[in-house]
A and B are shown apart, each in its own frame.
Chain A
Amino acid sequence: MITFWIDRGRSAVRILSLGFLLLAPPGTQAALSVITTTANLQTLVEAVGGDRVSVVSLVPAGSNAEEYAPRPQDLDRIRGASMVVRVGLDYDLWFDRLLRQSGKPSLLRGGPGHVDASNAIVLLEVKGGGLSGGAHAHGAGNPHYWLDPVNADVITGNIVEALARLDSLNAKYYEQRRIDFLARLEQRIHVWQLKLAPLTGKPLLTYHNNWPYFARRFRLNFIGTIEPRPGIAPSPAALAGLIRRMREEQVSVIVRHPQEPSRDVDFLARKVGARVVILAASVGDLPQAQDYFSLFETNVAALTAAFFGVAR
């Protein structure tokens, strides 16, 4: 039954694309269909692809990408795509199964349409198996690398390389858009760094280990995580230790992601008299963070407001 509908969907896509080819005025062509796993990658592909690509993110904005449960239509979306972009580093492991099921060899790892955006990123917290009790379970390094805006250089590099390979006619267009995007980003990074400069070294606490790349770029001091391991609530002894450390190091701000449990965070904030600031770790986590730029604008504004009480 399902295959029947999928087949129907496929033929519909084919007819549709045929229609597009017939209807399209000479000189233009149908947009290259790209699937990304997260909204972050979607905005980056859109930034370099412009109107020559149509991008869909499988994980809806604001959902947890690591716990995503694929839906039947995802298979259809992948089958209709010529390129897939993923976060990699065990962050979107569920994607492998979907790709295998889709039966398109070009989209599998190593294929021309497969982009692992983490390729050539300078990884942080590479521990290989998390033996030293690191705060993130990912063996291959911390996967939240898009939170260092400088890494957009490498990510968009990976994307444009694949776009140029699949759509060589527009290679120049993609490369030019990438250069413009990165130039704009560089200016903003400079502004954000200036805004966050007064926070350098000020101790912060976070619930989940989302922020190492962000911290490195903006010189922030995250003294630890509230959860001892991803998804595990802290024990009483761990909480007592955190309270002690927070008092010793005078932590005045705790960072929370909108989907992380508020109980433990609020409890610590109450005990120590710290403020809680909610930051978006991904595009779409907060209503204000709708693209790659506003993701950082939102977080920078929220952090400075938490420390200096400036109106947002």
Chain B
Amino acid sequence: MNEFIELLALPFLASLMLIGIHCQFGLQVLKRNVVFVDLALAQCAALGATLAFMQGHMPQSAGAYAWSLGFAWSAALILSLIRYAPSRIPPEALVGVLYVASTAAAILLIEKAPQGAEHLKQILIGSVLTVSVDELIRVVPLYVGIGFILWLAAHRGWLERTGFAGWVADLGFYAAFGLVVTSSVAMAGVLLVFSFLIIPALIGLLWARTFGNQLLVGWGVGGLAAGTGLWASYVLDTSTGATMVCAFALTLCIALVARVIAEASKNFQMVSRVLGNFAVAVLLASSVWLVAQPRADQPLLDATEAAWPSVRDAYFNVQEKGIYTEAENYVKRYSAEMARLTTLEARSRWQGSAIDDETIRKISSFQQSYNEMIKGERFVMHEIRSRARERLRWTAFFSAVVLCAVMLALTLFWRGKFLSSRRSTVPIRSE
């Protein structure tokens, strides 16, 4: 638990701060329909950093920072001019083109100076898990200042102006966003920053009407999702950025479904009926697939077995179960043997007397044999499972059909009851 807090307190704080500023930008970005603008700005900043490296500036020096900021601001200038593009083409498409073009340009530059690849990555592949206190302290005044100006702009309606004043406001908006994104992507990475930008803002839009309330909802739910994601990444032992993005997506799903339910129970009934029918169809399709090709991959059955291995007990007979368990144990034994040899060889590199080439070759050939044996045992396991499935496919099929029939009957029954109850209530009211 202590380790958990030691490791994740700082990332959580960083996430809260990033959500704080990005949710504000996200609401504006969604309004303007330029969702991928953060990717474009970050990529342009990275392009600037690459060029700076080629000019001989060391990364994280003032020169490198000036170059990447210069490029981000040039991109901001281009983005602010999008408002004058013919309305026949969507602004999002132009943002996308700016992104791919700057990415490709950076790749071409890297080919000329391969050692620069590291510096390109440094800007684009942050990791919130390894954020440092210095990094946080450096950006706090920046974020607070820009956040305040942005709030003022939204409050005073500066961003809704038209004409020249509107263009100036747009330019300021994109320039400020460029400043924020350049530091945030370096801290948290492209994927996570995109989630911070868009998902809390979407949830805010779903659940609140005024700008202030949308912001509050976004901040609250975003903070919750960030905490859950960090915790899940620790418990599940998965990479932090990707887990957090999934947690954000899941949160959005929940918020969306909840909104659909809240909006109208009629929609909810329709959605639940569609989902129910879909489940029945999937069940039927996979039972037909089982009958047709019992030896092929059975995604539904395989996933169920992976989650609850005890499902196998339901359709294996005693003999099959015995063989399967035995093969499973052999796999474990051979794997342990392989691991032992690996450790033995790795230790011999520095401990005791060195192992000669002949022995190394022997170890390798042992490991390869073990590997083949493991493959063999895996084949046995697969074969046993396929045979059991072949044996029981018709039973499974008919039970699935019966189950579907029951569900169908229940649906029809409820519908009939619903209709007849409506019919019977109408005359009572008229009396």
* Contact A235 B233, beta carbon cutoff 8 Å: yes
Instruction: Tell me which of A141, A215, A216, A236 has the highest count of chain B C-beta atoms within 10 A of its own C-beta.
Output: A236
Q: A220-B349, A233-B240, A262-B118 provided; 15 other pairs, C-beta below 8 A?
A: A122-B360, A127-B338, A128-B367, A128-B368, A129-B371, A200-B350, A222-B349, A233-B127, A235-B234, A235-B239, A236-B8, A240-B4, A243-B7, A264-B127, A284-B114
Q: For residue A285, which residue of chain B has the nearest CB?
A: B115
Q: How many residues of A contact B (CB 8 A)?
A: 49
- Interface-side segment among A55-63, A79-87, A172-180, A299-307: A55-63
* Contact B372 A267, beta carbon cutoff 8 Å: no
Query: If the complex has contacts A127-B371, A236-B233, A240-B7, are A219 and B130 also in contact, measured as CB distance less than 8 A?
Result: no
Other-chain contact of B7, A125, A232, A239, A259 (Cβ < 8 Å): A239
Residues of B within 8 A of A273 (CB): none
Residues of A within 8 A of B371 (CB): 127-129, 131
* Contact A234 B368, beta carbon cutoff 8 Å: no
Residues of B within 8 A of A128 (CB): 367-368, 371-372
Other-chain contact of B118, A122, A201, A258, A270 (Cβ < 8 Å): A258
Residues of A within 8 A of B338 (CB): 127, 131-132
* Contact A201 B360, beta carbon cutoff 8 Å: no
Residues of A within 8 A of B348 (CB): 216
Q: How many A-B residue pairs have CB under 8 A?
A: 126
A126 proximal to B (CB < 8 A): yes
CA distance A124 to B349 in the complex (A): 11
Other-chain contact of B342, A125, A267, A270, A285 (Cβ < 8 Å): A125
Q: State the main secondary structure of chain A at its contact with B.
A: loop
CA distance A281 to B4 in the complex (A): 34
Residues of B within 8 A of A312 (CB): none
* Contact B239 A234, beta carbon cutoff 8 Å: yes
B361 proximal to A (CB < 8 A): yes
A294 proximal to B (CB < 8 A): no
Residues of chain A from 152 to 209 with CB closer than 8 A to chain B in the complex? 200-201
Query: If the complex has contacts A60-B114, A126-B367, A235-B239, are A263 and B234 also in contact, measured as CB distance less than 8 A?
Result: no
B228 proximal to A (CB < 8 A): no
CA distance A200 to B354 in the complex (A): 12
CA distance A129 to B335 in the complex (A): 12
Binding site for B on A (CB under 8 A): 60-64, 122-129, 131-132, 134, 141, 200-201, 212, 215-216, 219-222, 232-240, 243-244, 258-264, 266-267, 270, 284-285
Q: State the main secondary structure of chain B at its contact with A.
A: helix
Chain B nearest CB from A253 CB (Å) reads 14
* Contact A201 B374, beta carbon cutoff 8 Å: no
The digit string for B109-125, where 1 denotes a CB below 8 A from any CB of A, is 00100110110011001
* Contact A127 B350, beta carbon cutoff 8 Å: no
Q: For residue A141, which residue of chain B has the nearest CB?
A: B364
CA distance A124 to B359 in the complex (A): 11
Instruction: Tell me which of B118, B125, B234, B241 has the highest count of chain A C-beta atoms within 10 A of its own C-beta.
Output: B118
The digit string for B321-365, where 1 denotes a CB below 8 A from any CB of A, is 000000000000001001100100110111100100100110010
CA distance A125 to B364 in the complex (A): 7
CA distance A244 to B3 in the complex (A): 10
B132 proximal to A (CB < 8 A): yes
Query: If the complex has contacts A61-B114, A235-B238, are A201 and B127 also in contact, measured as CB distance less than 8 A?
Result: no
* Contact A212 B360, beta carbon cutoff 8 Å: no
Residues of B within 8 A of A124 (CB): 345, 360, 364
Residues of B within 8 A of A212 (CB): 346, 349
* Contact A126 B364, beta carbon cutoff 8 Å: yes
Residues of A within 8 A of B127 (CB): 233, 261, 263-264
* Contact A216 B354, beta carbon cutoff 8 Å: yes
* Contact B117 A63, beta carbon cutoff 8 Å: yes
CA distance A7 to B235 in the complex (A): 59
* Contact A236 B132, beta carbon cutoff 8 Å: no
CA distance A264 to B239 in the complex (A): 12
CA distance A235 to B129 in the complex (A): 9
* Contact A233 B233, beta carbon cutoff 8 Å: no
Residues of B within 8 A of A258 (CB): 115, 118
Name 7 interchain pairs, CB-CB below 8 A, sorted by A: A131-B371, A134-B342, A235-B237, A235-B238, A236-B240, A240-B234, A266-B132
B223 proximal to A (CB < 8 A): no
B294 proximal to A (CB < 8 A): no
Residues of A within 8 A of B218 (CB): none
CA distance A199 to B132 in the complex (A): 31
CA distance A70 to B372 in the complex (A): 34
Q: For residue B336, which residue of chain A has the nearest CB?
A: A132
Q: For residue B111, which residue of chain A has the nearest CB?
A: A60
Chain B nearest CB from A290 CB (Å) reads 13
